[in-house]
Amino acid sequence: MLSQIQTETPPEDLAALAETHYFAANPPPKDLEKHVALARDFINFHSAAKRRLVLVTSGGTTVPLEKQTVRFIDNFSAGTRGATSAEYFLEAGYAVIFLHRQFSLLPFSRHYSHATDCFLDFLREGPDGSVVARDEDAARMLHVLRKYRNARDRNTLLVLPFVSISDYLHELRSVAQLMQPLGPSGLLYLAAAVSDFFVPPERMSEHKIQSTDVAEAFKKSKNARAQKTTEDEETFDNFDSSPAVPRSKSLVIDLDPVPKFLKNLVEGWSPQGMIVSFKLETDPEILVHKAKYSLDRYQHHLVIGNLLATRKWEVVFVSPLSPDRWIRIPNPAESHASTAAVEKDEPVDPKSLPDGEPDTEIESLIIPAVQELHTKYIQTVEAKNKA
């Protein structure tokens, strides 16, 4: 039936059909209504102040294997790109809705995450039993604290969490639709690592998937006992005397593709907002090609390409608003040839980069470049709307 619909329906209707089907079959997160109310107030507040507003998505989406979820498949992302970008957007004067994977990095607190810099390491006991920042860390902490307080006092940061791929898609659709009245001054910056495959609800186990046949045998014998026939009692006896070592089961997971909703986002959920997507690859040879393919397919406004191994050192901008452009942190090992090295229009060899992270955060260069394109985009849309 579905294949018949697919062959007879024009592509734009298929996208609408996929949307209707997906959102009806996959229930919304329980806090969606609460998040929508918070986002609506936030957007109205900043729209009245004529402030630019960006939705930053960040972190990886999960794919639950069970309805009462114990096991899930995860996507790679600590949320560094999203959390760092959000800080630079705030610095650039944007109001930020930060839609992030629960417990991934957050703007500001990311500087003191438990994985790298535990905040307790920055504190010491002061006089009279008080707690104060260590002298050597105080200036840096104060700098972050001021920016954090500024965002709180001016209500410029709204933080909303998601966990699974379906939570993410419900939240993304709702917030994008709420942003429609902002027109071109709304920006969507999709840095989250979004799952490409999922288990549809009709094939999802209700309970924890079992790794042995113990529970199955127990259930069988329990049902048999309930019937209370002589033969059944024998079945139960058989279970009791069954081998003591349970048999382990292998797990075969059959995943469906997650519908690509970028087209729906561009054409339906946010027809005037500027949409920036990320393209993550591991093979340098295909990065630019895949970024261009994505732009061509979805007709949005900017794809930022990055490679897993070098994503903190360089990214490439592919956009109809400007020529392709690499943005990179100069490699300290090549500082004598700095201009040529920085302007090279192909990926760097990861082996040529020093170990560890660059001194400068690449988002400090990415966000001003996005802002510049956003300004250009607003001017283009406004000119078109006037004509």
CA distance 270 to 309: 32
Q: Which two tokens stand for residue 161?
A: 């969490």
Q: Give the per-residue contact string, 229-258, with ligand PMT (x = CB under 6 A; - = no).
A: -----------------------------x
Which residues lie below 8 Å from residue 316, measured CB to CB, with a gap of 6+?
A: 287, 288, 291, 304, 305, 306, 324, 325, 326, 327, 347
Nearer Cβ to ligand PMT (156/306): 306
Give the nearest distance from C-beta 85 to ligand PMT in angstroms: 9
Nearer Cβ to ligand PMT (81/374): 81
Q: What angle do CA 275, 328, 195 make, to 5 degrees?
A: 45
Per CB under 6 A, 199 contacts ligand PMT = no
Q: Residue count at the site for ligand PMT (CB under 6 A)? A: 20
CA distance 292 to 302: 10
Give the nearest distance from C-beta 180 to ligand PMT in angstroms: 18
Among 90, 151, 191, 378, binds ligand PMT (CB under 6 A): 191
Contact 301, 377 (CB under 8 A): yes
Q: Give the per-residue contact string, 260-279, with ligand PMT (x = CB under 6 A; - = no).
A: xxx--------------xxx
Per CB under 6 A, 166 contacts ligand PMT = no
Nearer Cβ to ligand PMT (166/221): 166
Contact 199, 287 (CB under 8 A): no
Per CB under 6 A, 78 contacts ligand PMT = yes
Task: Give the number of other CB atoms < 10 A from CB of residue 61.
Answer: 26
- Which of these ranges, 41-49, 74-82, 127-135, 321-329, lies near ligand PMT under the rule CB under 6 A? 74-82
Q: How far is CA 236 from CA 41, 215, 225, 230, 283, in A?
A: 62, 14, 7, 10, 57
Nearer Cβ to ligand PMT (190/329): 190
Per CB under 6 A, 353 contacts ligand PMT = no
- Which of these ranges, 72-80, 178-186, 266-274, 344-352, lies near ligand PMT under the rule CB under 6 A? 72-80
Contact 381, 272 (CB under 8 A): yes
Nearer Cβ to ligand PMT (79/273): 79
Q: Which residue has 């000119």 as its token pair?
A: 383
Per CB under 6 A, 81 contacts ligand PMT = yes
Nearer Cβ to ligand PMT (51/311): 311
List the interface residues with ligand PMT, window 307-336 (CB under 6 A). Answer: 311
Nearer Cβ to ligand PMT (221/277): 277
Give the nearest distance from C-beta 21 to ligand PMT in angstroms: 15
Nearer Cβ to ligand PMT (234/256): 256
Nearer Cβ to ligand PMT (224/307): 307
Nearer Cβ to ligand PMT (80/319): 80
Give the nearest distance from C-beta 120 to ligand PMT in angstroms: 24
Q: Which two tokens stand for residue 192?
A: 């989250």
DSSP 66: B
H helix runs in the chain, sequence order:
2-8, 11-25, 32-48, 80-91, 135-153, 165-178, 214-227, 230-240, 262-264, 287-298, 338-343, 363-386
- Which of these ranges, 23-31, 75-83, 132-140, 353-361, lies near ligand PMT under the rule CB under 6 A? 75-83
DSSP 207: S
The DSSP code sequence of 303-321 is EEEEEGGGTTTEEEEEETT
- Which of these ranges, 45-53, 108-116, 193-201, 234-242, lies near ligand PMT under the rule CB under 6 A? 193-201
DSSP 133: E
CA distance 288 to 347: 9
Contact 247, 103 (CB under 8 A): no
Residues that bind ligand PMT (CB under 6 A): 77-81, 190-191, 193-194, 196, 258, 260-262, 277-280, 306, 311
